[in-house]
Structure 1
Amino acid sequence: MLEKNPNPSVAVLLPCYNEEVTIGKVVRDFKTALPQADIYVYDNNSTDRTAEIAASEGAIVRKEPRQGKGNVIRAMFEDIDADVYIMSDGDDTYPADAAPAMVDKILEGYDMVIGDRLSSTYFQENKRPFHNFGNRLVRGSINGLFGAHVTDIMTGYRAFSFTFVKTYPVLSRGFEVETEMTIHSLNNNLRLFEMPIQYRDRPEGSVSKLDTVGDGIKVMSTIFRMIREYKPLPFFGGLGLVIDIIGLVLCGSVGIDFVHTGIVARFPTLIGAVMLVIAGLLLIVTGIILDVMAKNDRKEYILNANQIAFLKRSSHQ
């Protein structure tokens, strides 16, 4: 068994946009919960005193000009080196006192710890019914596709290992990044641990940046895109099978007419049906080819993760 690092470095990552009402308390809470941690506040073009207040509380403040939470997380993962990462929000909706237990789980060997809001107080605290519906819809679709049992797909409170952070490709630009993280982890069979946390709604005076409809569309488009990329055989194969069935039914109807009359009376229907069958077969073949490529990508990811983990262990020796 590998020896644990006796003095692991911990980084708390707080992406922020106009959070002057709450950021001071959030930084203080994490300093109390994780006194040994470095707390990073990445200011994403705030127009208020978010950066100033965070700096006055002792946080390391940096700027990220590319708008969007996904862009901020991408910059954080590129810039910051630590043994354990805690990602939270600057709106004081997540409890900092859960962070030490999340750190412990990463040190035990988990790749990502998920702060599970939905098993505790989320549905009582969150006053936005469409958000609750969206969480259930996303959870059901992803768990069904990957055969998983993740409770909170979209939580912004997570802990990561060094290997996860340095091998995870951040593609999303906005709030859909949490969904992308979960799909990425399930697709690559990473070690996940869900920890129930006490969620609380934003305090008075703090305004949510979420757009229920707009962000919901982005999340669903992200799921659609990642299903297409990570599960190409069910995606293209299922679509091709449906098209083939339609084409064969049309071919069968023309064939029945031919048996009864001895002539092909509907040439356009026959031609269209044959083209549908061919198109369906091409989609199935495409799904098979892309599925092989997706498996090779997973193999490459495992090799890269092993290399990163080896280099990390070597640096501690």
Structure 2
Amino acid sequence: MSNSFLSNQEFNNSIELSILMPCLNEAETIAVCIEKAHSFLKVNKIIGEVVIADNGSTDGSQRIAEANGARVIHVKERGYGSALIDGIKATYGKYIIMGDADDSYDFTALTPFVEKLREGYDLVMGNRFRGGIKPGAMPPLHRYLGNPVLSGIGRLFFPSAIGDFHCGLRGFNREAMIKLNLKTTGMEFASEMVVKSTLHKLRISEVPTTLSPDGRTRPPHLRSWRDGWRHLRFLLIFSPRWLFLYPGLLLLLVGLVCLLALIPGPQTLGGVTFDIHTMLYASMAIIVGFQCVAFAIFSKVFAINNKIFPSDKRLESALSKITLERGIVLGLLLFLMSLMGSINAVMAWGKTSFSSLVPSITMRIAIPSVTLIVVGIQVFFNSFFLTFLASQKDE
């Protein structure tokens, strides 16, 4: 829509939709993408703009974009996420629709996104598996393994119904997205947007989107295994439950069951006898499991305090009962229990006039005692560290 009778500031304030494209050497396709985006705005009578977040192109993409009526933002820090973060901040629209500048998405078919945004949804994801993937548009590794697996893990780790976590065509409310304080600089930015939107309970919808083969002759910037790992790493880091809590609880449970079962004596199961060597590994499982659970709590507290995660009333209620003083007392009690076990072991040794010990007997006392002392020390120092984290809340 023309801004002939409006000042630049008045026009910027009236923009409803910004169509944002990250760009790195897209000279072959940038013009057609901009042309389609302008056509969509004109046909649908939407006051909008086309913004190109250029990430250091050396093939003249910037000049082509400006010649075709787009506004170019120069982003110095390399990376897909970096380009989009700076691009989002530089747009004027109430809503933003972002998409790749390689002509793999049809910028004349954005109506479903706009309709959902106008209905009040904060994030509208495209779904290529519902909309259709044309022959040659997506490598088989991505189509049948990478995207389904990573999207499945995302749905498992987070309460999200999104079927395609990595679709490059998506729309969102600009103000709501800026509040999420997105930070990742690489391809994992696509996952961060979905994960943080879900954690902060934004309104999310999904619409079918068609993916076509891109129009470039050069290879894509995406590196399958490297970028796949970055997505998986991000999902794990943002889910302390799956990274630390659940594995830690499993190790604790298995370790405790095995240790308690073997204290009275060897146990035979299915013709296999388990003895003190199994107790030693059970002790390790308890110690590692306990620390994993502590890491889960530390991670969640840190993330909430730094506004990465929203507040959690259940965690706050639990932490209100875990005071420094109670942690110190519990740690000292565990230490004293281990000390009593150790004294008992020494007394048993004394009854043999401090001669050679029978490991199968004495280790049944020593292993639980050592386990208690290590866990006691963990409780003691973890209590101090948790108190330190709680005091570092970012206001």
| Shorter-chain TM-score tier | 0.7 to 0.9
- In structure 2, the gaps of 5 or more residues are 1-12, 269-274, 313-395
Moved more, 130-139 or 275-284: 275-284
Per-residue CA deviations over 1:172-206 (Å, capped at 9, x if unaligned) read 11112111111112222211111112210112525
1:281 matched to 2:290 = yes
1:33 matched to 2:45 = no
1:130 matched to 2:141 = yes
- The aligned counterpart of 1:24 is 31
- The aligned counterpart of 2:251 is 243
**Deviation at residue 233 of structure 1 after TM alignment:** 3.6
SS in 2 for 1:94: coil
**Deviation at residue 269 of structure 1 after TM alignment:** 6.0
Equivalent of 2:204 in 188, 192, 203: 192
- The aligned counterpart of 2:120 is 109
Amino acid at match of 2:247: L
Per-residue CA deviations over 1:20-71 (Å, capped at 9, x if unaligned) read 0000000000000013311111211112021111111011112111110101
Q: Which has the higher contact order (CA 8 A, sep 6+)?
A: 1
Q: Quick one: distance in 2 between partners of 1:127 and 1:162?
A: 29
- The aligned counterpart of 1:307 is none
- The aligned counterpart of 1:314 is none
- The aligned counterpart of 1:145 is 157
- The aligned counterpart of 2:362 is none
- The aligned counterpart of 2:359 is none
SS in 2 for 1:98: coil
Per-residue CA deviations over 1:202-237 (Å, capped at 9, x if unaligned) read 12525311111211121111222222xxxx244422
Cα pair distance change 1:33/1:269, threshold 3 Å: same
Contact map agreement 2:259 2:283 (CA 8 A) in 1: yes
SS in 1 for 2:108: helix
SS in 1 for 2:129: coil
Counterparts of 1:1-317 in structure 2 under 5 Å?
Answer: 9-35=16-42, 36-122=47-133, 124-132=135-143, 133-203=145-215, 205-227=217-239, 232-252=240-260, 254-257=262-265, 270=279, 273-288=282-297, 290-291=299-300, 297=307, 298-299=309-310
- Which has the higher Rg, Structure 1 or Structure 2? 2
Q: Quick one: distance in 2 between partners of 1:292 and 1:204?
A: 46
Contact map agreement 2:15 2:49 (CA 8 A) in 1: no
Q: Quick one: distance in 2 between partners of 1:101 and 1:238?
A: 39
Contact map agreement 1:86 1:158 (CA 8 A) in 2: yes
SS in 1 for 2:109: helix
SS in 1 for 2:20: strand
Cα pair distance change 1:48/1:7, threshold 3 Å: closer
Amino acid at match of 1:38: E
**Deviation at residue 81 of structure 1 after TM alignment:** 3.1
Cα pair distance change 1:8/1:52, threshold 3 Å: closer
Q: Quick one: distance in 1 between partners of 2:49 and 2:77?
A: 23
Contact map agreement 2:15 2:48 (CA 8 A) in 1: no
Per-residue CA deviations over 1:118-152 (Å, capped at 9, x if unaligned) read 11222644241111110010111111222432111
Cα pair distance change 1:276/1:101, threshold 3 Å: closer
Cα pair distance change 1:259/1:121, threshold 3 Å: closer
CA RMSD between the two structures: 2.8
Cα pair distance change 1:123/1:243, threshold 3 Å: farther
SS in 1 for 2:263: helix
SS in 2 for 1:97: coil
Contact map agreement 1:89 1:156 (CA 8 A) in 2: yes
Contact map agreement 2:26 2:102 (CA 8 A) in 1: yes
Contact map agreement 1:21 1:206 (CA 8 A) in 2: no
TM-score (norm 1): 0.81
SS in 1 for 2:181: coil
Task: State percent identity of aligned pairs.
Answer: 26
TM-score (norm 2): 0.66
Amino acid at match of 1:243: L
Contact map agreement 1:154 1:179 (CA 8 A) in 2: yes
Q: Quick one: distance in 2 between partners of 1:189 and 1:62?
A: 30
- In structure 1, the gaps of 5 or more residues are 1-5, 261-265, 302-317
SS in 2 for 1:61: strand
SS in 2 for 1:39: strand
